[in-house]
Chains A and B, each alone.
Chain A
Amino acid sequence: MQNDQLALAQTRGSVDPRVKRPLPAWVSTTALLLPTYGWLTIAIFLPLLTMLAFSFMSATPMGKTPVEFTLKQYRAFIDQPYLLRIGFNSLMMGFWTTLFCAILGFLAAVALVRATVGKTRETLLVLILLPFWTNGLVRVFSWTMVLRENGFLDNILHMVAPDAGSISILYTRYAVVLGLVHGYLPYMILTCYIALVTIDDAIIEAAASLGARWWTILYKILIPMAAPGLISGAVLIFIPVIGSFMEPRILGGRVGVTMGTVIEDQFTQAFNWPLGASLSFTLLAVVLAIFATFSGVLRGRTAG
């Protein structure tokens, strides 16, 4: 049988003169990687590079003012110290939103994975993803309906306690974080869910048989094992949140001035694209620095 095949292969080889030579490895590798890198170049690097170029200009190139190369845009944080406070507030907003998303998202994912099976699980997952599908503006404005004075929340409170004052938190940072958590929670639930479904039931049962109660299982098994999901969820949330401008503007009102709104203003109101671009890149640098420190700490901890 094997001999037959061998013989067959030999005859075919000698009859067919156009024997196929395998391509050199680098050709196939390049061919395989080209779509990915091509897409990355078009979708990310080109726009980013354009913005990087803008950030070194003295004025928006579409205007009438002559454009020169300058570093002055990067001095914004020094020239206008109030930007530092706004930057800090934005980071705090990102921190709290990510933290709440992590706590709620992880617990929701745990409940989803452990407490349900099959079809119910999938249905619930779809329900959780609904905020993703609703228009962001609609979602945020619906929160103003709930949170404003004499809004939905107040009405419910007054049904129970008619004399109570208003508990409206609209136009506070709480409202902003609330809106952001609502919008970004699905990312965390998804990433944690994906990390948690891969955990074998037997691992959790083994822990329980060894004497672990649910909180020990949570801290010692589920969280460490699903850490990649938590981290990627945090990255996915933190970056867009500190640059967000819709939620801060609509739910934060006067207190809703963030790096996101400042940058947006530069592009839409002040027509100062170079400043907008330089602020964006500064923010990006800060975020990368934070992640670098954080991952260094994490790695140090796992190694030690």
Chain B
Amino acid sequence: MTNVKVKSVAKTYGPISVLTDISTEFPEGSFTSLLGPSGSGKTTLLRIIAGFIKPDEGVIMIGNNDVTNVPVWGRNIGMMFQSYALFPHMTIAQNVAFGLERRGIKGEAARKEVDRALEMVRLSGFGDRTPKQLSGGQQQRVALARAIVIKPSVLLLDEPLSALDRRLRQEMQVELLRIQRESGLTTIFVTHDQEEALTLSDKVAILDRGRIVQIGEPETVYERPLTRFAAEFLGDSNFLSGKVENGAVRLSNGTVVRSDSALPGNGADVTLAIRPEKMSLATADGQPNRLSARITTVIYAGPVLSYILETPDGLPLKLFAQNRDGRVLREGETVSLSWSPEHTIAVAN
């Protein structure tokens, strides 16, 4: 139960720079998700923290200890793998006791710890079974018990739930969060799934091509993306580009858009991101930001309606509307969109 610091970590494989100057801190007891597209370096960063990969540069601190040169077995980490990675030739109890044995905890003391851990993952009484006799979800819970029973300094999870089907996955998310809260373990969680990242985490870190482009609380990252990539990768966004003019932005079609974000000086190029659900189809509600657009596609998904639209000058837009009154607009209709300056975020390209 300690914090983890990563300082100026870099890793290259031959000519490819996989991680570039990563510096961040994972506070004690926090649950942080590493989110990013495939190949962005999530696994590499996690494995550097675990000690399976040595960084070319930089320092890893667990608590107050510099562990950069400490091998995996000396780092006191708990790890969970996508493939469960249970020891198939041992019983569940032996699996969970493995890490305790390495720490010299044996016999009655070990048995108690094992029982406690199995109880925590709701698998009491499964100790004598072998991994093969358990379902995927149960196996992953054993893996979790095995990882937390050693009271690791940090819990590292590399897409541990992606082998499970949707329902089991959601169940496990709840379990994982409960256990993380109960144990207070500093947790770093790699995932592809943005929804998973948003619902589970205290903090979300977005990686792009080996850099952390943004790290913060889920709401902050979602509501105030710093870069175009972050705005696009986490959720959906509409992008408008233009030039700054008297504290507002003039788009190429002449429309002036207001934003509460801090804008650069007059004449500078700027990109604005607006979430599709923040735009509304209501024409007269006093919002200063307006655009008119033609509906090209309507996607009816029950509670939510998605509209794909196009402005007269060919800019594509997306809009999500609550299906409140059961009224669906038709394709080909021209509508007026409006949104608030508060939801107009200036992002870096």
Residues of A within 8 A of B (CB): 200, 202-203, 205-213, 216, 220-221, 224-225
Contact = CB atoms under 8 A, between A and B. Distances in A.
A129 to B, nearest CB: 28
14 contacts: A202-B81, A203-B86, A205-B81, A207-B87, A208-B71, A208-B72, A209-B77, A209-B156, A210-B73, A210-B146, A211-B76, A220-B87, A225-B87, A225-B89
Contacts of A213: 73
Given A205-B52, A208-B73, A216 B85 contact: no
Nearest to B98: A210
A211 B89 contact: no
B102 interface: yes
A212 B85 contact: no
Nearest to A302: B89
B262 to A, nearest CB: 44
B85 A200 contact: yes
A94 to B, nearest CB: 28
B103 interface: yes
Contact of A210 (B71, B89, B102): B102
B106 to A, nearest CB: 14
A202 B73 contact: no
A210 B88 contact: no
Interface in B249-269: none
B179 to A, nearest CB: 18
Contact of A221 (B50, B74, B83, B87): B87
Contact of B150 (A200, A202, A207, A211): A211
Interface in B132-173: 143, 146-147, 150, 156
Closest 6 CB pairs of A and B: A211-B102, A210-B99, A202-B85, A209-B79, A206-B85, A202-B81
Contacts of B77: 209
B218 interface: no
A186 to B, nearest CB: 26
A225 B150 contact: no
Contact of B83 (A202, A208, A220): A202
A213 B74 CA distance: 9
Nearest to A226: B89
B78 interface: yes
Interface of B: 50, 52, 71-79, 81-83, 85-89, 98-99, 102-103, 143, 146-147, 150, 156
A135 B41 CA distance: 52
Give the dominant DSSP class at A's interface.
helix
Contacts of B150: 210-211
Contacts of B50: 209
Contacts of A200: 83, 85
Given A212-B73, A224-B89, A206 B103 contact: no
Contacts of B147: 209-210
A212 to B, nearest CB: 6
A206 B102 CA distance: 13
B79 to A, nearest CB: 4
Nearest to B88: A225
Most buried by A among B71, B81, B150: B81
B98 to A, nearest CB: 5
Nearest to A217: B73
B102 A216 contact: yes
A170 B219 CA distance: 79
B103 A203 contact: no
A225 B89 CA distance: 7
A210 B95 CA distance: 10
A209 B154 CA distance: 11
A220 B98 CA distance: 9
A210 B89 CA distance: 17
A271 B227 CA distance: 92
Nearest to B89: A224
Given A200-B83, A210-B98, A210-B147, 15 more contacts: A200-B85, A202-B85, A203-B86, A203-B88, A206-B81, A206-B86, A206-B143, A207-B87, A207-B98, A209-B73, A209-B156, A210-B73, A210-B102, A210-B146, A211-B73
B102 A212 contact: yes
Contacts of A202: 81-83, 85
Contact of B78 (A209, A216, A220): A209
Contact of B79 (A205, A212, A216): A205
Contacts of A210: 73, 98-99, 102, 146-147, 150
A207 to B, nearest CB: 7
Given A202-B81, A205-B79, A212 B52 contact: no
A210 B73 CA distance: 6
A268 to B, nearest CB: 47
Contacts of A209: 50, 72-73, 75, 77-79, 147, 156
Contacts of A221: 87
A218 to B, nearest CB: 13
Nearest to B102: A211
Contacts of B143: 206
A221 B150 CA distance: 19
Nearest to B152: A209
B92 to A, nearest CB: 14
B71 to A, nearest CB: 8
A26 to B, nearest CB: 32
A225 B87 CA distance: 9
A206 B143 CA distance: 9
B103 A211 contact: yes
Most buried by A among B82, B88, B143: B88
A299 to B, nearest CB: 14
Most buried by A among B74, B102, B143: B102
B85 A203 contact: yes
